[in-house]
Structure 1
Amino acid sequence: MKPTHIEHIGIAVKSLDDAIPFYEKVFGLECYAVEEVTDQKVKTAFFKVGDTKIELLESTDAEGPIGKFIEKKGEGIHHMAFAVDGLNDKLKAAEEAGVRLIDKQSRKGAEGLNIAFLHPKSTFGVLTELCEAPK
């Protein structure tokens, strides 16, 4: 599996309203999109840094994945996302190589990407997302 690039770094925050101004004022970045992904119980905000994005993640439900993450670990880096071509084939190959999958098939994520997660127990403690632009 050879990623084409780092798609984004996901950062869990308690409040987009508090975090967005930090990235805009301190780093001079522009928040170009805010989107709610209802089925993932999250609201996202995106910033572009070169070819890579920063994705801020605010939980819309304390029982959602980001809500639970913040409750357990606090705010901070949640995941690393790699762009790949042929996402479902990459998932199958990863599973055959012994990687534990969270998603066995891709699903829709923010910005219209197809996404799937690899379990951090198989990726040295890093929740890893694979992303593919729809064709």
Structure 2
Amino acid sequence: MILRIDHVGVVTNDIKAAASGMGLMDLKCTYEDDVDVYGVATSFWQCPGDTTSIELVAPVRPDAAVHGHLARLGPGLNHVAFEVDDIDADLAALQDRGAILVDEKPCQGGRPGLRVAFAHLGPSTGLLVELVDYGNRA
């Protein structure tokens, strides 16, 4: 079951320059790390008192998952991430309903303890969604 919008992902070729843009809006970086399975660097930005984030995503190697997006569309909105309570069941439900899975199984995400999986909702929205599951988060 979807619990909430967790973050909005924005791809960039230059994460440091994009971080400067987040600073212009007084957003604070709350976490940053590389996600090896996707070949990207990430940083998460939030407004004080809000748990929803903007995630900056930049390639760190030639086979990075975001190169196709950057080549076709350039920097900008990449995905909307939804926190779910059971990523395995929710990923299977999306597939049963006709979503096109990018990830057949959840992978390690860009924050500690986070499991993620991506899916396309189809051409009518053009939306890439990310399911995120923090497991037993308090």
**TM-score normalised to structure 2 length:** 0.88
**Partners of 1:37 and 1:43 within 8 A in 2:** yes
**Partners of 1:118 and 1:128 within 8 A in 2:** yes
Give the Cα–Cα distance (whole angstroms) in 2 for the partners of residues 70 and 11 of structure 1. Answer: 10
Unaligned runs of 5+ in 1: none
Matched, 1:43 2:44: no
Q: Percent identity?
A: 26
Q: Deviations over 1:31-81 (max 9, x none)?
A: 122211122110001111322100000111243221221122100001000
Unaligned runs of 5+ in 2: none
AA matched with 2:126: G
What is the aligned partner in structure 2 of residue 103 from structure 1? 103
Q: Secondary structure at the match of 2:63?
A: coil
Tell me which moved more, 95-104 or 72-81.
95-104
RMSD of aligned Cα (Å): 1.6
Give the Cα–Cα distance (whole angstroms) in 1 for the partners of residues 73 and 34 of structure 2. Answer: 22
Give the Cα–Cα distance (whole angstroms) in 1 for the partners of residues 73 and 105 of structure 2. Answer: 27
Give the Cα–Cα distance (whole angstroms) in 2 for the partners of residues 65 and 76 of structure 1. Answer: 15
Tell me which moved more, 80-89 or 54-63.
54-63
**TM-score normalised to structure 1 length:** 0.90
AA matched with 1:21: S
Give the Cα–Cα distance (whole angstroms) in 2 for the partners of residues 19 and 127 of structure 1. Answer: 21
Give the Cα–Cα distance (whole angstroms) in 2 for the partners of residues 107 and 40 of structure 1. Answer: 9
Post-superposition offset of 1:98: 2.3
Post-superposition offset of 1:122: 6.3
**Partners of 2:99 and 2:121 within 8 A in 1:** no
**Higher helix proportion, which one?**
1
